[in-house]
Each structure stands twice: as C-alpha cells, then as structure tokens.
Amino acid sequence: MKSDTIQDARLDSEKLPFHVAMIMDGNGRWAKQRLMNRVKGHEKGSKTVRSIVTAARELGIGMLTLYAFSTENWARPKIEVSALMMLLKRFLVSERDTLMTRGVRLNILGQQEKLPEDIQREAEKTVEMTRSNQGMVLNLALSYGSRQEITQGVQTLARKIKAGSIQPNDITEEMISDHLYTRQMPDPDLIIRTSGEYRLSNFMMWQAAYSELFITQTLWPDFTRDDFVEILINFQERDRRFGRVKCSTLKDGSPQ
C-alpha cells in the first residue's frame, strides 16, 4: 500500500483497478427532482467531482478519467453550455493547489481546440503545473467523443500511409491505441456510470473492450465516496478473463 493513501479496510490494494473511468450522469434529473434549474445540478455535480477526485487519490487509484463534456453536449442550450464551461474553468483554477498538494497530474482528453480560449489557457496552465506529479493521473474528457477520437486517429494514420512512412499492413491494435487521446495510457479497468442508464454514450468505445462496467442508480450529484468504495469492492469480487477461460487448478490443466 502506498504510504500516502488512506485505504478502506474492506479493499485489497493488490486487487484495486488501476484506471477507473466515470460517466457522470444525472445532474439534470437531480435538479428536476428538486424543482431547480439544471445548472444547479451541474453545480452540485462539481462538488461531487471534487470529493470523488479526493477519494480516488486517497484510496490509491492510479488513474481517474471523468467524462465532463461530450462532443454532443455542444448541442445543449447555450446557457447550459456556458454554465458548464464556467464550472470547468472554476475547477481548473481553484483546484490547482489541491492537485499539487495531493500529487495529482491533470490531462485533458478531447478536442481542446473547440473549448473557449480562456478554458484552453487555464487547462494548459494546470496541465503544465501538475506535469511531474506522481500520485494519480486525473483525465478530464472535455469535448470528447469516441467516434471523433477514432476518426482523427484514422485520419492521422491515413496521412502517414499517404506519406509512405507506414504501409496499411503495418497498422496494429497498439498503433491505433497510440493515435487516440489516451495514447500511452492503460485501458480503463472499470467504467462506472451513474443514474441508471445502460449505455456508453460515445465514451471510450475502443478502450472499453475489456473494461468491467458498473451502473449505479445513484445520480451523480448524490454519488459519494462510500458508493465508490462499494463499487470497488464489487470489482474486486469479479473474475476478469479477457475472453479466456479461468486457469484450472486441475493437474491436467483442463479448464474448470
């Protein structure tokens, strides 16, 4: 166990997922249930982001990816998009010190060039400042869409073929992975989606090939550290086979 993490006694640090990705859903419904504006749900959702980043770091998670804004979210009402951008900017600025003291390194996954210039600047500043941190990696997926990510990767590979630097048969799965925003990162071991929706919604479709999925009914603004711990306990009880059969303890090696 890392000495700077606060483990939960019910967790086995050897069996923790390294990379946890989260589809943070249900902010709008949380607000609607309280007869509030959707933006209030996003505000409460930002507070959950802070507590879950802290919890992930303390529990010893190596990499946390949060789906904060999708390529499709640009089509939401302008006022909601502006509110989300304001909350993102607030997070990027106000969390800098905390990310530094907790040793968290920030990355942005997605079409950074589509983000408002002030957000791009603040994101770059926080990414740069936290570059050498070793405690945990926090990926914020911003203007992220899996189809767009794969499309831009395919375009880059096609340009390399056209330039003659690679041949079509040189393309491997690893090469495709290396042309995604998640290049050099391990695939998520666990993807959690809040609010009871059973879909990936254009999130990490390539990387999710063997991710364990966990859908909780809890809405994102209500999601707590305890909910997270319960899901990690559930993950540790799962048998990940990656398409193979479980190794037998039988002497002849036949599958159980």
The residue with its CB nearest to ligand FPP is 28
* Using rule CB under 6 A, residue 40 touches ligand FPP: no
Q: Binding segment for ligand FPP among 41-49, 96-104, 162-170, 237-245 (CB under 6 A)? A: 41-49
- Binding to ligand FPP by residue 107, rule CB under 6 A? no
| Contact status, residue 123 vs residue 115, Cβ threshold 8 Å | yes
Q: Which x/- pattern, by CB under 6 A, does the window 190-209 give for ligand FPP? A: -----x--------------
Residue 143 and residue 74: Cα distance in Å, rounded? 8
The yes-or-no answer on residue 73 being catalytic is yes
- Closer residue to ligand FPP in complex, CB, 157/195: 195
Q: How far apart are CA 116 and CA 112, in angstroms?
A: 9
C-beta closer to ligand FPP: residue 24 or 157: 24
In 3-state terms, what secondary structure has residue 122?
helix
Q: Is 232 in the site for ligand FPP (CB under 6 A)?
A: no
65 belongs to the binding site for ligand FPP (CB under 6 A): no
Cα angle at 55 between 202 and 218, to 5 degrees? 55
Question: Closest approach of Cβ 88 to ligand FPP, in Å?
Answer: 5
The amino acid occupying position 109 is L
And the tokens for 35? 């007869």
Nearest partner of 208 among 234, 235, 181, 189, judged by Cα:
189
Q: Which of 17, 20, 40, 46 binds ligand FPP (CB under 6 A)?
A: 46
Whole-angstrom Cα Rg for the chain: 20
Euclidean distance between CA atoms 213 and 188, whole angstroms: 10
- Tokens, residue 229: 């711990």
Q: CA-to-CA distance for 67 and 204, rounded, in angstroms?
A: 10
Q: Where are the beta strands (DSSP E) in the chain?
A: 19-23, 63-70, 104-109, 136-144, 190-193, 212-215
Stretch that binds ligand FPP, among 42-50, 127-135, 148-156, 235-243 (CB under 6 A): 42-50
Number of residues this chain uses to bind ligand FPP (CB under 6 A)? 20
> Among 117, 138, 135, which Cα is nearest to 127's?
138
Q: Which residues contact 98 (CB under 8 A, 6 or more apart)?
A: 50, 54, 104
Q: Which of 21, 52, 88, 109 binds ligand FPP (CB under 6 A)?
A: 88
Name the catalytic one among 8, 37, 73, 178. Answer: 73
Q: Of 4-12, 66-74, 104-112, 128-136, which segment contacts ligand FPP by CB under 6 A?
A: 66-74
4 is catalytic: no
| Nearer residue to ligand FPP within complex by CB, 65 or 195 | 195
Out of 17, 20, 25, 180, which residue is the one contacting ligand FPP (CB under 6 A)? 25
Residue 216 Cβ vs ligand FPP, minimum distance, rounded to whole Å: 14
Residues that bind ligand FPP (CB under 6 A): 24-29, 42, 45-46, 49, 66, 68, 73, 84, 87-88, 91, 140, 195, 220
Active site residues: 25, 73
